Structure 1
Amino acid sequence: MKLTRRIPVTAPGQAIDLLVQACPELSKGRLKDAMNKGAVQLVQGKQHKRLRRAQSEVSSGAVLELHYDEDILQRKAPEPVLLADERSYSVWFKPAGLLSQGNEWGDHLALLRQVEQHFTNQRPVFLLHRLDREASGLVLIAHHKTMAATLSQLIQQQRISKTYRITVLGKVLPALLQQGEISLPLDGKACCTRFNFAAELQNPPRTVLDVALISGRKHQIRRHFAAVGHPVMGDPQYGQGNQDAAGLALQAVRLAFELPGKGLREYAVPATLLR
Structure 2
Amino acid sequence: MDNMIKEQRPSKKHQPRGLPILHEDKDIIVVVKPTGLLTIGTDREKSRTAHYLLNDYVRKGNPKSSNRVYVVHRLDQDTSGLLIFAKSEEAKKFLQKDWENTEKHYLAIVCGKLKEKEGTISSYLTENKAYKVYSTPDSTKGKLSKTAYKVIKEGKEVSLIDIHLLTGRKHQIRVHFAENGHPVAGDKKYGTGTSGLKRLALHARSISFTHPYSHKIMTFDTGLPEDFTRLLRKL
Q: Under a length normalisation based on structure 2, what TM-score does the superposition of the two structures give?
A: 0.75
Query: How far 1:268 sits from its partner (Å)?
Result: 1.4
Which of 11, 15, 19 matches 1:80?
19
Pairwise CA RMSD of aligned residues? 2.0
Contact 1:253 1:269 in 2 (8 A): yes
Note if 1:258 corresponds to 2:198. Answer: no
Contact 1:192 1:213 in 2 (8 A): yes
1:90 and 1:107 mapped to 2: Cα distance? 20
Write the letter of the residue equivalent to 1:159: N
How many residues are paired up? 192
Aligned-pair identity in percent equals: 31
Note if 1:234 corresponds to 2:176. Answer: no
SS in 1 for 2:144: coil
Distance 1:274 1:143, change over 3 A: farther
Note if 1:269 corresponds to 2:222. Answer: yes
Give matches, 1:121-200, under 5 Å.
122=65, 123-155=67-99, 158-173=100-115, 176-178=116-118, 180-187=119-126, 188-200=142-154
SS in 2 for 1:186: strand
SS in 2 for 1:243: coil
Stretches of structure 2 that go unaligned for 5 or more consecutive residues are: 1-15, 127-141, 229-235
Write the letter of the residue equivalent to 1:177: K
Deviates more, 1:163-172 or 1:122-131: 122-131
Contact 1:99 1:109 in 2 (8 A): yes
Stretches of structure 1 that go unaligned for 5 or more consecutive residues are: 1-76
2:32 and 2:76 mapped to 1: Cα distance? 13
Write the letter of the residue equivalent to 1:268: D
Contact 1:169 1:242 in 2 (8 A): no
2:178 and 2:122 mapped to 1: Cα distance? 13
Contact 1:232 1:242 in 2 (8 A): no
Greater relative contact order (CA < 8 Å, ≥ 6 in sequence): 2
Distance 1:272 1:230, change over 3 A: closer
Partner of 2:12: none
Note if 1:111 corresponds to 2:111. Answer: no
SS in 2 for 1:137: strand
2:96 and 2:226 mapped to 1: Cα distance? 26
1:161 and 1:78 mapped to 2: Cα distance? 28
**Structure number having the greater helix percentage:** 1
Q: Which has the larger radius of gyration?
A: 1
2:42 and 2:193 mapped to 1: Cα distance? 31
Q: Under a length normalisation based on structure 1, what TM-score does the superposition of the two structures give?
A: 0.65
SS in 1 for 2:184: coil
Write the letter of the residue equivalent to 1:184: S
